[in-house]
Amino acid sequence: MTEIIDLKTIHSDGRHNAFTDIIIWKGYFYVSFRTAESHGIIPNGDIIIIRSKDLVKWDMCSKIDTGGDDRDPKLINCGSFLGIVFGTWLPRRGGKSVVTNAEFDLISHIAISKDGLTWSTPRQVYGMNYWLWRILPLDGVYFCAAYHFPVRSDRDKRSVHLLRSENLWDWEPLCLMRMGGGPGEPVLFEPEKGVLRCVIRSKEPRNHSFLGTSEAPYTSWCWTDLGVMIHAPVVLRVNDRWIVAGRSQRSDLPNDPGFSKDSNYGVSLWDITLKTAEHLITVPSGGDCSYCGLAQGIDEEILMTYYSQHESKDTSSSDIFLARVSVT
């Protein structure tokens, strides 16, 4: 049985606060998110990092502003230091593009901290319009499924590439994982030694998410349609299960009570297997929402951050929530 133990708003200031992550590092719970005036690229957004000892009192750690639109921060447990990776939209040089939605280019940035409070200057990593979405530390090295869009408005030209790094800064490509259909927001996890899996959303076909599997050296991938859409998936191991969180569609879960009234989207948890995603629960959510973080709580309790507009007073603002969920 899956049930909500507790649900709190941990950040609300009338702005559009979104795109969260959570990690436990050196005795603190860290949460990252973007704050801006709206979901869009203009005006620019900044990265906020807060932390807590008890999940009740949250203190500001850092605000990161590269000068562009900084968004989708993902925290990285690097052992002796804490990392963060995020994307930045920067205006394309040379004037307005004739291609729709191509006035900006995407640069991935990484910053690190040895104490969680003082952060290095964000450093640009890898190539233009390669989004290093979420990084997996594994046996002293790092893997990332980065998605690439040479023409932002043409989803069929999008591709996902597996990258590897030994130092977090310098990345080498290992293989092309997936091409076409608008793939994006991939998350890697290791279900067993020598095996990598990836959950990824894809616009085509059928607007579903897919599960990819590869064995070392991870240069060949097989994909299975999960039958539902999970936007911005994040994965957490709970005992021998793999739990996935992300934005769900009412069309996939037409009778779910978790969706707020008149909203087509919600924030849900699934149990993921080799072939399917079994829905567990939809937390109170709606409107512009999702982009979760997951961390292990006590016993089989899950900590999940997300953003949502279901309690917002206007359509431009959104709040950051922390749910404690029991999965048994």
- DSSP string of 45-111? -EEEEEEESSSSS-EEEEEE--SSEEEEEEEEE-SSSEEEEEEEEEEPSSS--SSTT-SEEEEEEEE
Residue 42: φ, ψ to 5° = -110, 130
The token duo for 24 is 């436990």
The token duo for 57 is 């009192």
pTM of the model: 0.95
Predicted pLDDT of residue 296? 95
Give the Cα separation of 285 and 307 in Å (integer).
8
The token duo for 71 is 């968004």
Q: Tell me the three state secondary structure of residue 226.
A: coil
Tens digit of each residue's pLDDT, the chain (328 residues):
899 999 999 999 999 999 999 999 999 999 999 999 999 999 999 999 999 999 999 999 999 999 999 999 999 999 999 999 999 999 887 666 555 556 889 999 999 999 999 999 999 999 999 999 999 999 999 999 999 998 777 777 899 999 999 999 999 999 999 998 999 999 999 999 999 999 999 988 888 999 999 999 999 999 999 999 999 999 999 999 999 999 999 999 988 888 888 899 999 999 998 889 999 999 999 999 999 999 999 878 999 999 999 998 788 899 999 999 999 8
Predicted pLDDT of residue 67? 95
Give the Cα separation of 163 and 180 in Å (integer).
18
Predicted pLDDT of residue 314? 84
Give the Cα separation of 104 and 210 in Å (integer).
28
Answer whether the bond into residue 257 is a cis peptide, omega within 30°: no
Predicted pLDDT of residue 99? 54
Give the Cα separation of 245 and 267 in Å (integer).
7
Predicted pLDDT of residue 100? 54
